[in-house]
Amino acid sequence: MSARRYSVAAQDTNTAATTQVGVTSAATIRPWIYDLVCGSDATPADNAAEYVLQRNTAAGTSTAFTPIALDPASPASLAAAGQNHSVEPTYTAAGLLLNWAQNQRATFRWVAAPESEIIFPATAANGGGVQTIGIAGSAVNMNFQIYFGE
């Protein structure tokens, strides 16, 4: 894997069927996720939600933000990132890559085993997103951190 690594952070309300954060490929690179962290900064309560990381073939419409290079000597990321989606990405049927349920009071972290990173195609506008697929209780503000390489 490449030594170019980046970080993206996002905040959004975990409304059902809403994408929280996404990473979108460029035509020349294959970004790969190796670490994902999710937690809430809202007042503690017993709310729960189910999330999925899944592939998409169109990024949707979101607030774009620039991935941060973990090594300041790295060039700017070719992949893009977005949060607060107003138009959902076009998700790939049966493209679920990671699925977890989480209580608001807990923090979730997924770290890829070596050679098990989640890889997206080198196709413009393709990539992946974390989507809330169900909530139990109230929707709350969630924070996401994704680390990826290219």
**Radius of gyration in angstroms for the set of CA atoms belonging to the chain, rounded to a whole number:** 15
Whether the per-residue pLDDT at 143 is higher than 70: the answer is yes
Predicted confidence band at 1 (pLDDT cuts at 50, 70, 90)? very low
d(CA 54, CA 91): 7
Provide the terminal-to-terminal Cα distance of the chain, rounded to the nearest Å. 8
Structure pTM?
0.93
For residue range 17-31, what is the model confidence (pLDDT) as tens digits?
999 999 999 999 999
Tens-place pLDDT, residues 67-123? 999 999 999 999 999 998 999 999 999 889 999 999 999 999 999 999 999 999 999
Q: How far apart are CA 139 and CA 49, in angstroms?
A: 8
Distance CA 77, CA 85 (A): 21
Confidence at residue 57, expressed as pLDDT on a 0 to 100 scale: 95
pLDDT recorded at residue 43: 94
Query: What's residue 95's pLDDT?
Result: 83
Which residue is associated with the tokens 């949060």? 83
